[in-house]
Amino acid sequence: MKALGIILAGGNNNRMQELTSRRAISAMPIGGSYRCIDFALSNMSNSHIHTVAVLTQYNARSLNEHLSSSKWWDFGRKQGGLYTFTPTVTAGNSWWYRGTADAMYQNLDFLKRRHEPYVIITSGDCVYKGDYNKILDYHIAKKADITVVCKDMPQGVDVSRYGVVRMNEDARIIEFEEKPMMASSNTISTGIYVIRRRQLIEMLERCAEEERYDFVSDILIRYKNLKRIYGYKLETYWSNIATVESYYQTNMDFLNPEVRKFFFRDEPKIATKVDDLPPAKYNVGSDVKNSLIASGCIVNSKVENSILFKKAFIGKNCVIKNSIILNDVYIGDNTYVENCIVESRNTLRANTYYCGENGIKVVREENARYVI
């Protein structure tokens, strides 16, 4: 294969509130049965990229558990495979990853030992489906030094939390602003990059010498006038889940039949780690409309425009509306939940009321589940 993959999955931010206090953003559940990193891994596998490194750091236990077997994404192979790298203390280094460039620099031996001519770098917190071979062919045809995958966002969408780019008529990037206060365009960087492996090694070594640690600000923005950096437009669905609102909206998008068809029916499909669970059980009194109910759930009452992840239990006379119920949640009888995200393995007591009045409410209730 012409390329190896690097998935940056070690980031932390406060915009996810309590949702990332236990897990990395890349391990956030999506669409009933998936994790966010499944999309990047499946794209790598479907593009026949046989060697993929996942760089993890913050709250990595849940993510490492999910990646414990690589066979689900077809990486259980002799040549290549799936590698997970966390920061390691060595004689010459005792730092955590101090940025995206530093994360790759601390694993420079891995890049130097490989023989693939190109590297595809992507982040683990985006939901999309794409063929990296097409991006690689475009990169080679343009004789680019770096290719950045871009997306035109709809008018009215706040692009200030992304890297905003402007391209000329030849698709060469002439302006790149990281998280601008006032955006000059609605074209954003999706965090997917193609670069020649030897050039990446050279740039990372130079960054380390100058004590620069971030790939976007210290490589892309600094070199945009010196190197040939081109943009490749992604036309299909793409979403980033780095805030509570965007995480909620991305999951709600899966209630749209066209989005479900694109990800789960159309080839190539998205793969994930499989759990041995019974199908969802709908008891007398259940009334489910326009919702996704995962395996292992038990439903006894009304669920509307919601997503229930694995092993959720909904008691009697409940109303669940416009909400996301994460894995292994127990909701007692006569409970009302609207516009909420209920954290996994939580227990909502009977006769309680939760409603996100001004936006999405994150519910964390660690009550005792069984009182003996």
The predicted pLDDT at position 1 comes to 63
Read off the pTM: 0.90
Contact yes or no for 263/270 (Cβ under 8 A):
yes
Is it the case that residue 120 has pLDDT exceeding 90?
Answer: yes
Sign of CA dihedral 367, 248, 293, 66: negative
Q: pLDDT-based confidence at 176, cuts 50/70/90?
A: confident
Predicted pLDDT of residue 324 = 93
Q: What digits encode the pLDDT tens for the residues 317-334? A: 999 999 999 988 999 899
Q: Pinpoint the alpha helices (H) of the chain.
A: 37-46, 61-66, 100-105, 108-113, 132-141, 197-209, 215, 244-253, 257-260
Q: Please state, in angstroms and as integers, the Cα–Cα distance from residue 314 to each residue in 145, 152, 201, 310, following that order.
A: 53, 40, 52, 12
Q: What is the pLDDT of residue 372?
A: 44
Percent of the chain whose pLDDT exceeds 90: 23
**Average of per-residue pLDDT values in the chain:** 85
Average pLDDT over residues 329-358: 89
In this prediction, residue 370 has a pLDDT band, given cuts at 50, 70 and 90, of low
| DSSP 8-state code for residue 312 | -
Q: Higher model confidence: residue 76 or residue 245?
A: 245
How many angstroms separate the first and last alpha carbons of the chain? Answer: 58
For the segment 190-235, what is each residue's pLDDT rounded down to a tens digit? 889 999 889 888 888 888 888 887 777 777 778 777 888 888 988 8
Higher pLDDT, 371 or 341: 341
pLDDT at 258: 92
Tell me: the pLDDT tens digits for 10-38? Answer: 777 777 777 777 788 888 889 888 888 88
Q: What is the pLDDT of residues 143-152, one digit of tens each?
A: 888 898 999 8
Report the pLDDT averaged over residues 157-173: 83
Q: How far is the C-alpha of 285 from the C-alpha of 372, rounded, in Å?
A: 27
Other Cβ atoms less than 10 A from the Cβ of 353: the count is 11
Q: Domains (ranges, CATH) in the chain?
A: 3-265 (3.90.550.10), 281-363 (2.160.10.10)
81 has pLDDT over 60: yes
Q: Is there a contact between 297 and 280 (Cβ–Cβ < 8 Å)?
A: yes
